[in-house]
Amino acid sequence: MTTIAIACDHAAWQLKDELAAWLRDAGHDVTDLGTNGPESVDYPDYGYRLGEAIADGQAAFGVALCGSGIGISIAVNRNPACRAALVNEPLSARLAREHNDANVIALGARLTGIEMAKACIETFLATDFLGDRHQRRVDKLGQPKN
């Protein structure tokens, strides 16, 4: 069983609810960090919450959702412990894990339907990081040079 934190803004709360239920049905422990309705909220707040959950070890993986997936992925990536990848189909989800050791998958609720979102998450969770030549590159992500 994998612990997964999921967070979204107002544009993605319905997709979040569907994905959280689907992940629970698949046997995962899901931490829902909100939001939970259509009232306007600021995606950075939820991206930061998700980043903290990953950094604190509360979750092994995260699912970040907003209208496009862009804003919340930027917010999550402000946390040095996170490597959030915005994906649109299973191949990019697989490569994000294999090559970048991504620990957060970001999706756009206005751009990605429920079945494609499930396919992306399923691939993301089933894929291992390849390490080897990719490890040194991932290590550099936590040590930016001026």
Instruction: Write out the binding residues.
Output: 9-10, 67-71, 100, 110, 133, 137
Annotation marks residue 134 as catalytic: no
Burial (CB < 10 A; 0-12, 13-18, 19+), residue 45, is middle
Annotation marks residue 99 as catalytic: yes
Which of 66, 82, 120, 134 is flagged as catalytic? 66
In sequence order, what are the residues at sequence separation of 6 or more whose Cβ sits closer than 8 angstroms to the Cβ of residue 104? 50, 51, 54, 61, 62, 63, 64, 73, 76, 82, 83, 84, 85
Grouping H, G, I as helix, E, B as strand and the rest as coil, residue 24 is helix
Where is the binding site for D-ribulose 5-phosphate, in residues?
9-10, 67-71, 100, 110, 133, 137
* Residues assigned a catalytic role: 66, 99
